[in-house]
Amino acid sequence: MIEQHPFAPKCEYAFTVSIKLSQAFFLRPSSQGATRAAVYAESGTFEGPNIRGRVVPMSGGDWPLVRPNGVIDFDARYLLEVDDGTIVYLQSRGYRWAKTPEIAEKMARNEPVSEDDYYMRVAPKFDVPEGPHDWLGRYLFVGVAEKLPGANRIHYFKVL
């Protein structure tokens, strides 16, 4: 039996962001030899035990780099508005890759796939004013993302 390391991180569910995405715009190939894209956050919502609100429409998006090996390197930035009016800047980096070429083709066609067919994880940072939501800027978070046709749903966990 493998013993848990005493410093292994523990996580607590924070919230889920559901984002409707615009069409993707592509640079093929980019100056880096891979494919660069731009996908905008059209709208969305977020909700968790202690926070809820909306994705500010068209406040940003994702500028992923699609590597020749199929790994997508995310760089997403957009705004969240908490129900009390607080604006939060979210910047997230991460990776997505399909477990088979067939699954990658389905995802490229924006078709539904099982969450077991791909890996999609992100590491966000938040810029938030002092006040009731400043906990977002005091912890590290990990996001486990779902790729949905025309959308993403990202479940964020606070690393304790």
DSSP string, 94-147: EEEEESSHHHHHHHHTT----GGGEEEEEEEEEE--SSTTGGGGTSEEEEEEEE
The pLDDT of residue 85 is 98
What is the CATH T-level fold of the domain 11-159, as seen in this structure? Answer: Porin (2.40.160)
Supply the pTM of this predicted model: 0.91
The pLDDT of residue 150 is 83
Residue whose pair of structure tokens reads 């709208």 in the numeric block: 43
How is the chain split into domains, by residue range? 11-159
The pLDDT of residue 14 is 98
